[in-house]
A and B are shown apart, each in its own frame.
Chain A
Amino acid sequence: MAAIGEQSLRWFSAEEVEAEPDLATLVRDYSALLYRVALSVLRNSAEAEDVVQDVFVRVLQRQQELARINEVRPWLVRIAWNLALDRRRKIRPEQMDEIFAESLVSPGLPADQALAEARRIRQVLAAMERLPKHERQALLLSAMDELSTPEIAAILDRTESSVRSLLFRARARLRERIQD
């Protein structure tokens, strides 16, 4: 064990350590994006914040690997997505949708219109849940302004054209299902 530790110290003791991003910088730069990614899966603010914390705890545990990561942002988003999916299995997102839909209703609307809008948003959220996994992931990640199509492709481990195709199909399927 000691030999392995010395070896890893030797590997990362040169210029690579200088290039290694600081954890505090990572938190400052990416916590908001990761929060939105987790929120798109969980639709609950507290759960999404917990996921962001877990992401950085994982990063801390694998800090020595950071220097070898070429694209930090897709890597972090992928960790956040997977952790959010793990956490999602423990909660019931349908219960979260009620609160989330009500929070999206425009304030100042008459009560009947507010109810109709909340219902419409709940329909959209339910239809998103029923999308195929990759289509749903592409659609939700595309909502993040910070993520470009190449980055989404890197996260999904697909080509850019494949990501565009997934987005088109997701939109079409969503429209079709909501209108049924």
Chain B
Amino acid sequence: MEFEPKQHDDAVDKVLAALRDAVPPEGMEARIAQRLAQPRPVQRAASRWRDLLTGSNLAGAWVRGALTGAAVASIVIAATLLLHRPIQTTTDHSKIAVHESVSAPTATPVSASPRTTPASAPRSAPCVSPAVPRIREIAPAPTGEKLLAEETHNNTAAPSHPAPALSLTPQERALVRLVHTSDPKDLAPLTPEMHAKAQAQDEADFDRFFATPASPSSSQHNE
């Protein structure tokens, strides 16, 4: 069904006129007045916090933004601390290693170095040059030679134990296999007596097999 344009305009006007002439339901003002006369419910602290955290008002947005910012800042600080900690340690070690390599050719003992704090000085006394690391307070990093010497010393001082069992040779493995099978024929070649006995047995069997059988008459006579 097609509508004419005038009908559409009429429909638009009718809708707008209906909105314009809409009459409020009877008693609406009284209901509103009654609602306004009711004591205002006290907003609890919990609901206020809930509104701040989930509401769409400006204060809620500020609170949410502040919380998010604090969380991000703490994550960044934690990540920065974690990332920078090992780098600082290696830097300290490299400084000490350089210091040792400089002091080594002069064959000056570490405790006698003029840069170090004397042992008699109080620990709370300020360092003469704070930029120079205090060697006595920092344990020197072990060098490669020292590590090797320590390992050798530890190996030497370690308690001795019996050597571990070596693996068997092929012949030994064959012997073990033979013993475990307990076959007398296989064991025979190992001892000359048994070997001779086995050979004699074989010859006797051979002769018995090829020997001329006894005549039937003699056998009947025997019976």
Q: Do A and B bind each other?
A: yes
Binding site for B on A (CB under 8 A): 23-24, 27-28, 31-32, 35-36, 39-40, 45-46, 49, 52-53, 56-57, 60-61, 103-104, 116-117, 119-121, 123-125, 128, 139-140, 142-145, 171, 174-175, 178-179
Q: Please state if B29 and A179 are interface contacts (CB–CB under 8 Å).
A: no
Q: Please state if B29 and A144 are interface contacts (CB–CB under 8 Å).
A: no
Please name the residue on chain B nearest to A120 by beta carbon: B11
Q: DSSP class of A's interface residues: helix, strand, loop or mixed?
A: helix
Binding site for A on B (CB under 8 A): 1, 3, 5, 7-9, 11-12, 14-20, 22-25, 28-29, 31-33, 35-36, 40
Please name the residue on chain B nearest to A142 by beta carbon: B16
Q: Please state if B14 and A104 are interface contacts (CB–CB under 8 Å).
A: yes
**From A45, A56, A124, contact of B15 by CB (8 A):** A124
Please name the residue on chain B nearest to A101 by beta carbon: B15
Given A104-B15, A140-B16, 11 more contacts at CB 8 Å?
A24-B33, A27-B33, A31-B32, A32-B24, A36-B19, A53-B32, A60-B36, A120-B7, A142-B16, A175-B5, A178-B11
Please name the residue on chain B nearest to A143 by beta carbon: B16
Residues of B within 8 A of A53 (CB): 31-32, 35
Residues of A within 8 A of B32 (CB): 27, 31, 52-53, 56
Q: Please state if B24 and A179 are interface contacts (CB–CB under 8 Å).
A: no
Q: Please state if B11 and A52 are interface contacts (CB–CB under 8 Å).
A: no
Give CA–CA (A39, B24) in the complex, Å: 9
Q: Please state if A49 and B24 are interface contacts (CB–CB under 8 Å).
A: yes
Residues of B within 8 A of A24 (CB): 33
Min Cβ gap B13→A in Å is: 9
A49 and B31 contact, Cβ closer than 8 Å, known pairs A23-B36, A57-B36: yes
Min Cβ gap A160→B in Å is: 20
A144 and B20 contact, Cβ closer than 8 Å, known pairs A120-B3, A121-B14: yes
A28 and B29 contact, Cβ closer than 8 Å, known pairs A57-B36, A60-B36, A128-B15: yes
Q: Please state if B11 and A60 are interface contacts (CB–CB under 8 Å).
A: no
Can you list 19 pairs linking A and B with CB atoms under 8 Å apart? A31-B32, A32-B23, A35-B28, A36-B22, A52-B24, A57-B35, A57-B36, A60-B40, A117-B11, A119-B1, A120-B8, A123-B3, A123-B8, A124-B15, A140-B16, A143-B16, A143-B19, A174-B12, A175-B9
Residues of A within 8 A of B31 (CB): 49, 53
Give CA–CA (A168, B31) in the complex, Å: 39
Give CA–CA (A179, B6) in the complex, Å: 10
Q: Chain A CB within 10 Å — which of B20, B35, B40 has the most?
A: B20
